């Protein structure tokens, strides 16, 4: 499996503070069947993480994984907030995409009253050549209250990454319900962990999907597409598989 959204670098954002914690997170990801993790630290007004910091963090964790013989591919990326996506020059933003792809993980707005500036941001980024993957739209109050906004973004080419643990209720009943609705409507293109540590917000991808399949049995067939097939296509800048 491939995890496109994971706060796996130590001392960079609100993920693990130390390398030992980051290693425990990545070890848990590998033990749960994840083979590729994209480290996606926040790039936001609060955490203005630079591409150089991300590169150094990825290199450090790759060395630690090799030393500990943890079989896991670690790639660099970021979870970019709208404010920074609009502010950063292209030369910087290009370095914040997932792996070597043109796919940018854009944080869904957490402010309930976010206006059309978010849609304008997505459109501008798409015009600049980025493939937009929206992080955890099921947790965005603006989309929960007006789902047609998210539907229109997807019709315009944006893709959706939901958080695996939204499916087992970790973020509340509303996020769980909305995540299931998005899956039912075919509006989800990747299921990712948004892990921040090994235990509190852990990296597993399958528990949530297994729980969701109880209410949505077709998910059993779709799980591999959501956790491997589609994310692999995003990293390769390829069309999504059927």
Q: Which is nearer to Fe ion, 79 or 138 (CB)?
A: 79
Residues that contact Fe ion, how many (by CB under 5 A): 2
Q: Which of 3, 138, 192, 194 is close enough to bind Fe ion by CB under 5 A?
A: 194
Give the H/E segment covering residue 132: strand 131-135
By the rule CB under 5 A, 197 interacts with Fe ion: no
> Which residue is nearest to Fe ion, using beta carbons?
194
Q: Are 19 and 61 in contact (CB under 8 A)?
A: yes
Shortest distance, CB of residue 149 to Fe ion, whole angstroms? Answer: 20
By the rule CB under 5 A, 13 interacts with Fe ion: no
Shortest distance, CB of residue 30 to Fe ion, whole angstroms? Answer: 20
Q: Which is nearer to Fe ion, 161 or 228 (CB)?
A: 161
Q: Which is nearer to Fe ion, 194 or 197 (CB)?
A: 194
- Per DSSP, what are the bridge partners of residue 159? 133
Shortest distance, CB of residue 79 to Fe ion, whole angstroms? Answer: 5
Q: Which strands form 73-76's sheet, in the order they lie side by side? A: 2-6, 36-39, 73-76
Cβ-based neighbours of 49, under 8 Å, separated by 6 or more: 12, 13, 41, 42, 43, 78
Q: How would you label 166-202 residue by residue, b for 16+ Cβ within 10 Å and e otherwise?
A: bbbebbeeebbebbbebbeeebbbbbbbbbbbbeebb
Question: Which residues inside 136-175 make contact with Fe ion, applying CB under 5 A?
Answer: none
By the rule CB under 5 A, 3 interacts with Fe ion: no
Shortest distance, CB of residue 220 to Fe ion, whole angstroms? Answer: 27
Residue recorded with tokens 């235990």 = 199
By the rule CB under 5 A, 79 interacts with Fe ion: yes
Binding site for Fe ion (CB under 5 A): 79, 194
């Amino acid at each position: 499996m491939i995890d496109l959204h994971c706060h796996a670098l130590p001392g960079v954002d609100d993920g693990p503070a130390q390398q030992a914690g980051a290693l425990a997170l990545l070890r848990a990801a590998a033990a749960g069947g994840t083979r590729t993790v994209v480290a996606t630290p926040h790039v936001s007004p609060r955490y203005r993480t630079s591409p150089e910091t991300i590169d150094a963090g990825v290199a450090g964790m790759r060395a630690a994984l090799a030393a500990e013989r943890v079989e896991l591919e670690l790639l660099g990326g970021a979870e970019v907030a709208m404010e920074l996506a609009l502010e950063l020059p292209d030369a910087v933003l290009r370095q914040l995409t997932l792996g070597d792809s043109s796919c940018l993980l854009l944080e869904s707005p957490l402010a309930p009253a976010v206006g059309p500036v978010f849609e304008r941001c997505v459109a501008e980024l798409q015009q600049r050549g980025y493939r937009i993957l929206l992080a955890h739209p099921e947790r965005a109050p603006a989309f929960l209250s007006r789902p047609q906004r998210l539907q229109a973004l997807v019709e315009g080419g944006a893709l959706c990454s939901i958080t695996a643990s939204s499916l087992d209720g970790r973020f509340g009943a509303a996020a769980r319900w909305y995540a299931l609705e998005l899956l039912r409507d075919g509006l989800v293109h990747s299921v990712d962990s948004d892990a921040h540590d090994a235990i509190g917000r852990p990296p597993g991808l399958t528990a949530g999907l297994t729980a969701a399949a109880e209410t949505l049995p077709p998910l059993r067939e779709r799980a591999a597409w959501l956790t491997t097939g589609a994310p692999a296509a995003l990293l390769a800048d390829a069309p999504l598989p059927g």
